[in-house]
Amino acid sequence: MNQDGVNKGRRRFLMGATGAMGAVGGVGVAWPLLSSWQPSERAKAIGAPVAVDVGSLGEGEMISVEWRGKPIFIVRRTAEMLETLRSDELRGRLSDPDSDNQNQQPEYARNDVRSREEELLVVEGFCTHLGCAPQYRPQVEPQSFDDNWLGGFFCACHGSRFDMAGRVFRGVPAPSNLAVPPHFREGDMLTIGEDGETA
| DSSP SS3 for 136 | strand
Domain range summary for the chain, segments of one domain joined by +: 1-38, 45-192
Please give the order of strands across the beta sheet that includes 135-137.
Answer: 135-137, 152-155, 160-162
pLDDT in tens, 28-48: 666 665 555 554 555 555 678
The total of other beta-carbon atoms located within 10 Å of residue 97's CB is 20
What does the pLDDT read at residue 199?
Answer: 45
| The CATH number fitting domain 45-192, selected from 2.40.50.140, 3.10.180.10, 3.40.50.720, 2.102.10.10 | 2.102.10.10
CB 178 within 8 A of CB 160: no
The total of other beta-carbon atoms located within 10 Å of residue 94's CB is 19
**% residues pLDDT > 70 (the chain):** 83
| Among 67, 63, 64, CA closest to 45 | 67
Query: Which of 28-32, 72-76, 86-90, 114-118 is least confident?
Result: 28-32
pLDDT in tens, 145-183: 999 999 999 999 999 999 999 999 999 999 999 999 999
The phi, psi pair for 87, rounded to 5°, reads -75, 145
Residue 106 or residue 102, greater confidence: 106
What does the pLDDT read at residue 8?
Answer: 72
